[in-house]
A and B are shown apart, each in its own frame.
Chain A
């Protein structure tokens, strides 16, 4: 026993442990790189089985005959970590193929956005890689004030009183202008699973319940169909009446405010899906033998 203790506390054992840890770290690093090398070597052999993951966000508005690609990020073949990626503006009739924007595709004949009107906004996802994948989409909704500040909802305490934060003191406060006034109507809830735990007034998270094969898209079952800004945005009004009572100036409190819609699509490999989704997205899911996923509680 005494010899064992002496052995453990000896400098030689300590140094050996340190060297072992260093080797383990190096081996784990080499393992990751080796996976990329293997994939590249397949291209050299002519088998064209390079594993490239890619995803594209698509939009279809009232003026579109087919969905347009507005953002994509695809892994480039024969590279370890190079990506073909581009992002254009949403709700502006932007097209990655033509590199042009055409607001009339979204607005139609309107010269400006009309609160209350439901505009067609079909969001879908395409697999532009060469491996099967699972996808999810996160929608962020928020307002930007005329000074360009992104505004946040005030938090409330248990009694419903607003908690004033430092940022509010700088004038960044919605004061009743809620992201809920930006209404993106979700559709096809049978295939787009709403993650109620992760969704809030400002954020919507939906998971496509099936594997998306290379070249396939979800345009036949888009996750949304209409976008509306609630007319309540015009409810807060300041009127100024001249002293003679003859001139009435009406100023809307939220004149000049901008609504913003942001869509982020994430994709992950379908191989070892349960662990991959947990690891990359942090979400527990169940995967059946047909590859259909359901959200775990």
Chain B
């Protein structure tokens, strides 16, 4: 009797396995029929370009006869650097300042003066002259100590920009709003600023006044 039961159990197990295999094959046959029924094909291609951005400038200032002369040079390796636009503005709390240079222009209603040419890598921009006006001179002028007199010039550079047609956008119309992460380095001192606004983003170099 036990032998008969054992044989029956084995048969039931075999039957279950065979029926499962049959079901799987039926499903597969249905799927294969669908997949092979239609002609189809495809083709693809891809491509792209690497963007090269970055630049480095060196700023030097000379002060003489109440005039500050600013030279800005693109110092980076031309292979790694891109042409830039430059703009600058001066801050002098007590006296009027004027900008003198043919290649720099100040649009009406704008506090910035813009270099009208592109500054290519390795080249120097025409110097910007900032004249401090109507500074009294003499013993009663109130300016006894040259070191106490400061004029701050703020500079900004931005990579040249193009319109949709590929033409250069004039520097005064370029987008100068960028999110800057600024680091001051050297002599172990560091400071970090982050800003998205023009003035906060500007790098500045202070210049000290001198005697007339």
Using a CB–CB distance below 8 Å, which chain A residues touch chain B?
Answer: 9, 11, 14-15, 17-18, 20-22, 24-25, 27-29, 31-32, 35, 51, 53-57, 59, 70-75, 83, 85, 87-92, 94, 108, 110, 112-118, 129, 131, 133, 140, 144, 226, 228-229, 231, 233-252, 254-269, 272, 275-276, 279-280
Can you list 14 residue pairs at the A/B interface with Cβ under 8 Å?
A: A28-B33, A32-B33, A94-B45, A229-B51, A234-B178, A238-B182, A239-B203, A240-B182, A241-B184, A248-B155, A250-B84, A257-B50, A269-B38, A280-B38
Closest 5 CB pairs of A and B: A243-B186, A90-B47, A252-B53, A32-B36, A262-B46
Verify if B140 is at the interface (C-beta below 8 Å from A).
Answer: no
Q: Please, which residue of chain A has its CB at the minimum distance from the CB of B181?
A: A238
Interchain CA distance A272-B38 in the complex, whole Å: 9
CB–CB B179/A236 < 8 A: yes
B49 lies within 8 A of A257 (CB): no
B162 smallest CB distance to A (angstroms): 4
Residue of B nearest to A21 (CB): B22
Which interface class (under 10, 10 to 19, 20 to 34, 35 or more) fits B?
A: 35 or more
CA distance A240 to B182 in the complex (A): 6
* Contact among B52, B157, B189 for A248, CB-based, below 8 A: B157
Q: A71 CA to B36 CA in the complex, in Å?
A: 24
With A17-B22, A117-B165, A265-B42 as contacts: A259 and B49 at CB distance below 8 Å = yes
**CA gap between A29 and B7 in the complex, in Å:** 36
Binding site for A on B (CB under 8 A): 11, 15, 18-19, 21-23, 25-26, 28-30, 32-60, 75-76, 84, 155, 157, 159, 161-166, 169, 175, 177-187, 189, 203-206
Please state if B41 and A31 are interface contacts (CB–CB under 8 Å). Answer: no
Given A117-B166, A239-B203, A248-B57, A263 and B46 touching (CB < 8 A)? Answer: yes
Give the most central of B49, B166, B178, B205: most A CB within 10 Å. B49
